Amino acid sequence: MSKVRIYTLAKDLSVDNQKLLEILDSLGVSYKSVSSTLDEDTVDAIKGILAEESAATPSAPTDSQAASQTPAESTAAPQLQSAPPTPHHKDDVTAPTSNSVPSTAAQAASGQVSSAVAVQEAPPVQAPEIPHRAPVVTIMGHVDHGKTSLLDYIRKTKVAAKEAGGITQHVGAFEAQTSKGRIVFIDTPGHEAFTTIRARGANVADIAIIVVAADDSIMPQTREAIAHAQAAKVPLIVAINKIDLPQADVERVKTDLTSVNLVPEEYGGDTVVVPVSAKTGEGVEDLLEYISLTAELEDLRADPKGEFSGVVIESKVDKQSGVLATVMVQQGTVNVGDFLVVGETYGKIKALMDSAGNRIKSAGPSTPVQVLGFSEAPVSGDKVASASNEHTAREKVSVRVDTRRTVEEARQKRKLSLEEMMGP
């Protein structure tokens, strides 16, 4: 049997990717993404574990059942030795996986199970689960390689008809209801002057799509975009665009990618490369599929009931409405009437709009919203917090101002004492 990709196996076995990843974690098998391949032994071990699980407990296993299961252990144990004890995927920082969940109290108390078995048989998380949230996907790449066109295609065909026309020109972030669920996209400019915007875009992203035109291949801002995604530790997917053009050369792009250390899967590497055309739509569905697979691997969660936090995507001053800021809700929920603190200012939310321009009353995690109510334009990239009333908002601002002053004074003092030491 040849090697099989994780997501293919998940499909074949009718389990979700996350489940397979948990099993791989428990086996100590390393992988980089859901497109990593597995050898025959590992596949057999996985099948053994799944068979055991379904035989023992058709529904969720109880602690005692989990702790007493040993046949799966004996099936899986030989693979444990051959598996490299390396860490797993590149995004450990953002992806709490099930192996970070402590094993059950029963197992801990009995103390008789080896850690490998305890983790392997750990039942699903019992604590109230933080809900999943939609992935935030930033589109980056060289100027004119087709980033906006790609988003236009996705938006036109996938966003509910009522939302289609309503998106304002200025909003670089929008939500799309796709066949793979809700995805939030952020467009970034490719022109060389906009390095900071690209870096910011990468920082709010869960996943970066690097768009490379098939007739132009890797260009300076492609390299820069890749560097931003890597610096932000964001998994990336390469979309080779414009494959409808007669001069498109997909193979050349793939070869060129290896020169920037992104080795496509077909070449034995781990970089997901999807050929697409923003013009004809070819490959776009595949791209969405890969986004959703990557998001699943990231296990993105945020609590809509938790404390609000967000980040400013962009802001502008509108002659009629005043300051309009696009804020990405990262955690919690923001409501009309809330006070928001950003930088050293605060504002009361007069109105909220979704990315389709509809007025909304509140917005939860992974939602880009336009906020009306700041008295001055907040700085893009700044964190946004909320306050329950004006008094708290003011206090939060004054703490920030004080902190900045203290830092500045300390810096000034150091500078003066250095000058004294150096003499006139």
The CA-CA-CA angle for residues 149, 153, 159, to 5°, reads: 135
241 sits near Mg ion (criterion: CB under 5 A)? no
Member of 41, 144, 286, 344 binding ligand GTP (CB under 6 A): 144
149 sits near ligand GTP (criterion: CB under 6 A)? yes
Question: Is 365 assigned to a binding site?
Answer: no
228 sits near ligand GTP (criterion: CB under 6 A)? no
CB of 250 to ligand GTP, least distance (A): 12
Distance of CA 419 to the CA centre of its chain: 47
Nearest to residue 241, comparing CAs of 217, 208, 212, 264? 212
CB of 380 to ligand GTP, least distance (A): 17
Write the single-letter amino acid at 378.
P
What backbone phi and psi angles, to 5 degrees, belong to 400? Answer: -65, -45
Strand pairing class (136-141; 383-387) = unpaired
Whether the Cβ atoms of residue 238 and residue 273 lie closer than 8 Å to each other: yes
* 3-class state of residue 348 by DSSP: strand
345 sits near Mg ion (criterion: CB under 5 A)? no
Nearest to residue 255, comparing CAs of 211, 217, 297? 217
**Closest CB to Mg ion among residues 27, 186:** 186
Measured CA to CA, the distance from residue 314 to residue 357 in angstroms comes to 15
Question: Is 402 assigned to a binding site?
Answer: no
What backbone phi and psi angles, to 5 degrees, belong to 220? Answer: -50, -45
Q: Where are the alpha helices (DSSP H) in 40-186?
A: 40-56, 63-68, 71-82, 105-110, 115-120, 147-158, 161-164
* 3-class state of residue 174 by DSSP: strand
Q: Which residue is nearest to ligand GTP (CB)?
A: 190
Member of 79, 148, 221, 355 binding Mg ion (CB under 5 A): 148
**Closest CB to ligand GTP among residues 316, 413:** 316
| Count of residues making up the chain | 424
CB of 201 to ligand GTP, least distance (A): 12
Whether the Cβ atoms of residue 324 and residue 370 lie closer than 8 Å to each other: yes
286 sits near ligand GTP (criterion: CB under 6 A)? no
Query: Tokens 């919203």 label which residue?
Result: 369
145 sits near ligand GTP (criterion: CB under 6 A)? yes
147 sits near ligand GTP (criterion: CB under 6 A)? yes
Q: Which of the listed partners (Mg ion, ligand GTP, none) does 145 bind, with a CB threshold of 5 to 8 Å by partner kind? A: ligand GTP
Measured CA to CA, the distance from residue 314 to residue 379 in angstroms comes to 7
44 sits near ligand GTP (criterion: CB under 6 A)? no
244 sits near ligand GTP (criterion: CB under 6 A)? yes
Q: Which of the listed partners (Mg ion, ligand GTP, none) does 146 bind, with a CB threshold of 5 to 8 Å by partner kind? A: ligand GTP
Q: Which of the listed partners (ligand GTP, Mg ion, none) does 143 bind, with a CB threshold of 5 to 8 Å by partner kind? A: ligand GTP
271 sits near Mg ion (criterion: CB under 5 A)? no
CB of 225 to Mg ion, least distance (A): 12
Q: Which of the listed partners (Mg ion, ligand GTP, none) does 50 bind, with a CB threshold of 5 to 8 Å by partner kind? A: none
CB of 355 to ligand GTP, least distance (A): 17
- Please work out the total of residues on this chain that contact Mg ion, with binding judged by CB under 5 A: 2
178 sits near ligand GTP (criterion: CB under 6 A)? no
Stretch that binds Mg ion, among 7-15, 142-150, 159-167, 379-387 (CB under 5 A): 142-150
Measured CA to CA, the distance from residue 297 to residue 94 in angstroms comes to 10
CB of 31 to ligand GTP, least distance (A): 32
Query: Tokens 């790449």 label which residue?
Result: 141
Question: Is 254 assigned to a binding site?
Answer: no
Question: Is 132 assigned to a binding site?
Answer: no
Stretch that binds ligand GTP, among 142-150, 305-313, 336-344, 377-385 (CB under 6 A): 142-150
Whether the Cβ atoms of residue 171 and residue 370 lie closer than 8 Å to each other: yes
Beta carbons within 8 Å of 59's beta carbon, 6+ residues apart: none
278 sits near ligand GTP (criterion: CB under 6 A)? yes
CB of 341 to ligand GTP, least distance (A): 32
304 sits near ligand GTP (criterion: CB under 6 A)? no
CB of 151 to Mg ion, least distance (A): 8
- At 261, list the tokens: 């250390």
Whether the Cβ atoms of residue 147 and residue 141 lie closer than 8 Å to each other: yes
H or E element at residue 364: none
Measured CA to CA, the distance from residue 161 to residue 151 in angstroms comes to 15
Measured CA to CA, the distance from residue 303 to residue 290 in angstroms comes to 25
Member of 98, 138, 148, 386 binding ligand GTP (CB under 6 A): 148
Residue numbers in the known binding site are 141-148, 187-191, 241-244
Residue numbers in the known binding site for GTP are 141-148, 187-191, 241-244
Question: By the criterion CB under 6 A, which residues form the site for ligand GTP?
Answer: 141, 143-149, 189-191, 241-242, 244-245, 277-279
